[in-house]
Structure 1
Amino acid sequence: MDRFGPRDAREGDTEQLISALIPPATRRRPPSATPMRPPPLPARQLPAGENPQTFRLDMARPDTSGRLSVRYLLRTLGWSPGDRVDHTVIDDAIVVGRSPTGRAMIGARGDLMIPATARALAGMDSDSQFVLVAAPTKNTLVVHPERLVAGLIAAHYWPPDISDDA
């Protein structure tokens, strides 16, 4: 007697295969020498060299989840709720572009999620406002910290150097 029961009863049994339950033999195709590459995604970049007259601006303050209400700029760009987007951090700006394989999605109420990692990489505080720049010709939305625009305005208001050479 072994652990599966009496040896005599098991030796006399013969197994019979049921053909309806056996899958047909298939040939395995050899793997391809080179795997298929996905199509290249467009590189996200700042809209440098664009006509500034085409830019549309807005300001937004993120909620506790990092969502921004950007309905006006979404209409300008032709984006809709449910569209997928990708984020790219370039220096102190976050460039957002529509992408079929995007990791984020525009919310049903026209809100755009800015991930905490992107905000941290761009040096943006979650409690400050953001300046949003839509570039319709590039189909991108750029998120800037308000301190950048405040610095540009302060530099614009700074009095010019007056020399006493006259």
Structure 2
Amino acid sequence: MPTPLPVAVPDPAPLPTLPTSAAPSGDGRLLFDVARPDAAGRVTARGLLRALGWTPGLTLHVDVVTGAILITPAAEGAHAVGTREELPLPAAARHLCGIAPGEPVLLAALPRQNRIVAHPSNTIAAVLADLHARILGEPS
């Protein structure tokens, strides 16, 4: 039996670079992440917090505006960024927006305004249903 010829081992293909969870919209005006509130209403948002420079202990003002939760730094804020880089979504705000524990929320950071807006999934579903109806030429 003949001796097999040596075969060159090919170089491994490079792995693709995955986007970060808080990828900029392209112009730096908006960053997104998706999170699920735990039973206490906290959401982990490390990428967004780091992009804004918000560190654990930063006091925050949390308010409900037009069915979304608006979070802004405030010296006299009643809430704070958690030690594990999580944002508080208070029970009253979650209730007003219809956010249940474990239900996904879309977090949108606005670096120029130094704010985060938490959108409930029902709002995102309604906006996307409208958009898809227009794309498909269906009446709303």
* Correspondence for 1:112: 87
In the TM superposition, structure 1's runs of 4+ consecutive aligned residues that sit over 3 Å from their partners are none
Q: Does 1:143 align with 2:118?
A: yes
Distance 2:42 2:132 in 1: 32
For residues 161 and 154 of structure 1, do their structure 2 counterparts lie closer, same or farther at Cα, with a shift above 3 Å needed? Answer: closer
RMSD value, Cα: 1.9
Distance 1:108 1:82 in 2: 7
Distance 2:138 2:47 in 1: 40
Q: SS of the counterpart of 1:119?
A: helix
For residues 107 and 161 of structure 1, do their structure 2 counterparts lie closer, same or farther at Cα, with a shift above 3 Å needed? Answer: closer
* Correspondence for 2:12: none
Letter of the 1:143 counterpart: A
* Correspondence for 2:70: 95
1:3-152 alignment to 2 at 5 Å? Answer: 53=27, 54-152=29-127
Relative to the length of structure 1, the TM-score reads: 0.63
* Correspondence for 1:160: 137
Uncovered stretches (5+) of structure 2, i.e. residues with no partner: 1-24
Larger Rg computed on CA atoms: 1
Alignment length (residue pairs): 112
Uncovered stretches (5+) of structure 1, i.e. residues with no partner: 1-50
* Correspondence for 1:22: none
Pairwise CA distance, 1:127: 3.4
Q: SS of the counterpart of 1:142?
A: strand
Pairwise CA distance, 1:52: 8.5
Q: SS of the counterpart of 2:37?
A: coil
**Is the Cα contact below 8 Å between 1:85 and 1:103 reproduced in 2?**
yes
Pairwise CA distance, 1:153: 1.7
